[in-house]
Amino acid sequence: MKTTTEQRQHWMSVLAKAPPETLLGLSEDAIKDIHFDIIRAPEVGLTQVRARMGNRGERFNLGDMTLTRCVVRSSLNTVGHSYIAGRDKTHALRAAQLDALLQDPQMGEVLMERVVQPIESMLADARASKQRETDATRVDFFTLVRGED
Amino acid sequence: MYVAVKGGEKAIRSAHELLARRRRGRQDVPELEVSQVEEQLSLAVDRVMTEGSVYDRELAALAIKQAAGDLVEAIFLLRAYRTTLNRFYSSEPIDTDAMEVERRISATYKDLPGGQVLGPTFDYTHRLLDFALLAEGEVEASNTEAVEARVDEAMARVSQLLEREGLMVNEADSGAEPADITREPPTYPCDRSARMQALVRGDEGFLLALGYSTQRGYGRNHPFAGEIRIGEVGVSIVPEELGFEVEIGAIQVSECEMVNGFTRLEGGEVKFTRGYGLGFGQCERKVMAMALVDRALQAAEYDEEIKSPAQQEEFVLSHCDNVEAAGFVSHLKLPHYVDFQSELELIRRIRTADAADNEEDRS
């Protein structure tokens, strides 16, 4: 089964948002027997962040953010890319390696189950707990009605 | 004019060593870690990221530590570091409609879809010093009542509600490539995209004062805080080698949409006008000030008389950057010995001439 662009976009997004230690821990075993050629060693640079006036109008430049990118080729002959916010080269290298392996049908299935899905549910939990904290500060307005019981 | 002088290397080295010792403070007090600044002085970090123009919490925290808490100096350090990095990409525009909201309030509608969410705010605190913070110890675990899972109601945008009724001027995308003042300094009059970029980087204190001045009558624009949002948004790029959009992570931003006084437009319709503010992290005061100034700077577009400082584009934009401003003020500390000597000579000559004149008058 060939992976679709949507599937790849999805795992790349999860790998980018993963807490680095968790990502490294979960994927250590999976990659240790595979050889990778470094095509573009992890390098740190900037991305200009753009926004829109009123979120609908003309675009403007908000400022830069740091970004680390990396490209590798696996011994399964797949090429993996990573583009990760921040300056963590280990994170970028591992994400590129995983992107390469996730494109291989057999490896891909295993890695989705062992790495991508656990991270995804961790991120969802973190989001939900933050959401609960936020919801506790939601204002409930009372409308005071006079002359009624 | 200043001239180069030689010497003083030893004194300079000693001064830097002394600075490092003073920054460290008393040895019996534990040294501050960068991660502590990042976590516990997060609003300072947010300001340095916004005005330093680099979203990177750790770098901003490091700059604050190195600058001993002088935020303008920290902003300068971050800007300087920024110039050492290559810019690989420009992101797709972030989408604040899709924000994971931590705070969202509106001063124009009490009830609105998605509700009002206060989030972590200094509003409603009594501004009394909390001496409990002087004592060491942990913040008590959350005693917030369990909140019922709420129906996921989409947060409608206040400006959209008004636009839909035709009550407010539209924001529309002409597809124009935005200006980049880091590559090409603005020329006046300039594009609104250049203004926005300059205002994001602009000094919060300066913009706050200008925004305040519009409220006090120097370029009134009758603002309402239509909506303020703080939360995380995803950032995506489209790398050429892939040709599709890739999410690289999320950043926290603050956003303010001001609803400003209505005016009769060219076509004859009466509509509210608007101002926009956006910044990195949690920087509500900054984005409110920015929105006020953004609206003030649209004076020309609405044929308003330009007579107040906040409405003068060149004045605002060429003075709002605190790195530039601090640089030019600081240059006064450089040796002006020769310059001053000639001034001294001149004033002495004039005074001698004056004295001679007075002598003549008397005789």
Surface of B (310-339) touching A: CB under 8 A: none
pLDDT at position B186 is 92
pLDDT at position A3 is 80
Band of the pLDDT at A88, cuts 50, 70, 90? very high
Do the beta carbons of residue A117 and residue A18 sit within 8 Å? no
C-alpha closest to that of A84 among A29, A44, A55, A112: A44
Each residue's pLDDT tens digit, B284-303: 999 999 999 999 999 999 99
Tell me if A136 is assigned to some domain: no
Pick from B86, B96, B274: CB nearest A45: B86
Residue A57 domain boundaries:
5-130
CB–CB contact A130 B102 (8 Å)? yes
A66's enclosing H/E stretch is strand A59-74
Tell me if A10 is assigned to some domain: yes
CB–CB contact B88 A57 (8 Å)? no
Phi, psi of A70 (to 5 degrees): -160, 145
What's A137's DSSP letter?
A: T
- Separation CA B129–CA B46 (nearest Å): 23
Chain A residue with Cα closest to B255: A54
Overall number of domains in chain A: 1
Task: Report in angstroms the alpha-carbon separations of A146 from A74, A97, A123, A139, A143.
Answer: 74, 67, 47, 22, 10
- Does the structure show a pLDDT above 80 at A147? no
Cβ neighbours, 10 Å, residue B331? 10
Each residue's pLDDT tens digit, B203-239: 999 999 999 999 999 999 999 999 999 999 999 999 9
Q: Is B152 on the interface with A (CB under 8 A)?
A: no
Nearest chain A Cα distance for residue B71, angstroms: 18
Residue B213's SS3 state is: helix
Residue spans per domain, chain B: 9-82, 96-123+152-325
User: Poorest-confidence range of A91-100, A111-120, B118-127?
Assistant: B118-127
Tell me if A98 is assigned to some domain: yes
| Helical residues (DSSP H) of chain A, grouped into ranges | 5-17, 20-31, 89-102, 105-111, 117-135
Task: Report in angstroms the alpha-carbon separations of B246 from A14, B26, B56, B94.
Answer: 10, 48, 19, 13
What are the start-end ranges of the E strands in chain B? Answer: 54-55, 87-90, 100-105, 224-237, 246-264, 270-280
- Expressed in angstroms, the distance from the first to the final Cα of chain A is 67
Residues of chain B found within 8 Å of residue A136, distances taken between Cβ atoms? 144-145, 147
Q: DSSP labels for B290-301?
A: HHHHHHHTTGGG
- Separation CA B314–CA B299 (nearest Å): 13
pLDDT at position B314 is 97
Chain A residue with Cα closest to B201: A63
Q: What is the pTM of this model?
A: 0.93
Tell me if A99 is assigned to some domain: yes
pLDDT at position B77 is 98
What's A82's DSSP letter?
A: E
Task: Report in angstroms the alpha-carbon separations of A120 from A15, A27, A115, A124, B233.
Answer: 9, 14, 9, 6, 17
CB–CB contact B100 A136 (8 Å)? no
Do the beta carbons of residue B310 and residue B214 sit within 8 Å? yes
Q: Is A129 on the interface with B (CB under 8 A)?
A: no
Each residue's pLDDT tens digit, B102-134: 999 999 998 888 889 999 999 989 999 998 998
Tell me if A137 is assigned to some domain: no
- Expressed in angstroms, the distance from the first to the final Cα of chain B is 42
- Does the structure show a pLDDT above 60 at B33? yes
- Separation CA B8–CA B338 (nearest Å): 18
Band of the pLDDT at B169, cuts 50, 70, 90? very high
Tell me if A9 is assigned to some domain: yes
C-alpha closest to that of A27 among A87, A103, A117: A117
pLDDT at position B112 is 86
pLDDT at position B360 is 87
SS3 content of chain B, % helix, strand, coil (to 5): 45, 15, 40
Segment B168-175 shows an average pLDDT of 95
The two three-digit tokens of residue B352, written as one number: 């001698």
Q: Is A143 on the interface with B (CB under 8 A)?
A: no
CB–CB contact B87 A5 (8 Å)? no
Surface of B (83-102) touching A: CB under 8 A: 85-97, 100-102
